[in-house]
Amino acid sequence: MAVLVGKEAPGFNAAAVINGDEIVEGFTLEQFKGKYVVLFFYPKDFTFVCPTELHAFQAKLDEFKSRNVEVVAVSTDTEQSHWGWLQLSKDKGGIEGITYPIVADTNKTISHNYDVLAGDFYYDEEGMLQAEGELVAYRGLFLIDKEGVVRHQLVNDLPLGRNVDEALRMVDALQFFEEKGEVCPANWSKGAEGLKDTHDGVADYLSRN
């Protein structure tokens, strides 16, 4: 699994559904330069765990927006599949009401470049291209800063849903560090004290805990 933290987030140009009902071509991350981005991958449309995650991000969307954060989802389904799922109500397993962009990684290159693609391609003994495993995305999440650099990443296996509050906490931690120049100890949350990045700061923290 590639570690992208500290590196420029891989760019892409793909179709997406925005505002819950509009299919657009040429969707890129470049449009969000100067903002933070939480980019998350999910395996499939019309499944069970995935809609709980998408709705959970929507429920916290105003909190992300208040922190200058754009939320963007990606799966290997087509934009038409995304659009169809968005027309289905929540009580029927759909994601109606989701307003943040959902990108169609139909050719699987985005998932590959972020190294979250489950399964792989290989050539058999006869030189024929084969696929091993299901070529869908793991539940990857990447926090990208205003300069387009990945500052946090998390990858869950397919059955394991994510904690959206933890994604917000990581945004808060990054912004706290950028604003205060202080680092965030274990279990830090917004409103707590940080540490100055010195031995004296660590000693001070230990003396208080």
pLDDT digits (tens, 9 = 90+) for 135-193: 999 999 999 999 999 999 999 999 999 999 999 999 999 999 999 999 999 999 988 89
**Counts for the chain of helices (H) and strands (E), in that order:** 6, 11
| CATH domain 14-162 topology | Glutaredoxin (3.40.30)
Q: How far is Cα 37 from Cα 190, in angstroms, rounded to an integer?
A: 19
Counting Cβ atoms within 10 Å, is residue 78 exposed (0-12), middle (13-18) or buried (19+)? middle
Phi-psi region of 144 (alpha: psi -120 to 50; beta: other; left: phi over 0): beta
How much is the pLDDT for 81? Answer: 98
Q: For the chain, give every domain's residue range.
A: 14-162, 163-209
Whether 50 is a known active-site residue: answer yes
Answer for the pair 170, 184: CB distance below 8 angstroms, yes or no. no
Q: Which of 50, 71, 171, 184 is catalytic?
A: 50
Q: How far is Cα 148 from Cα 159, in angstroms, rounded to an integer?
A: 29
Query: Taking the model in full, what pTM does it have?
Result: 0.91
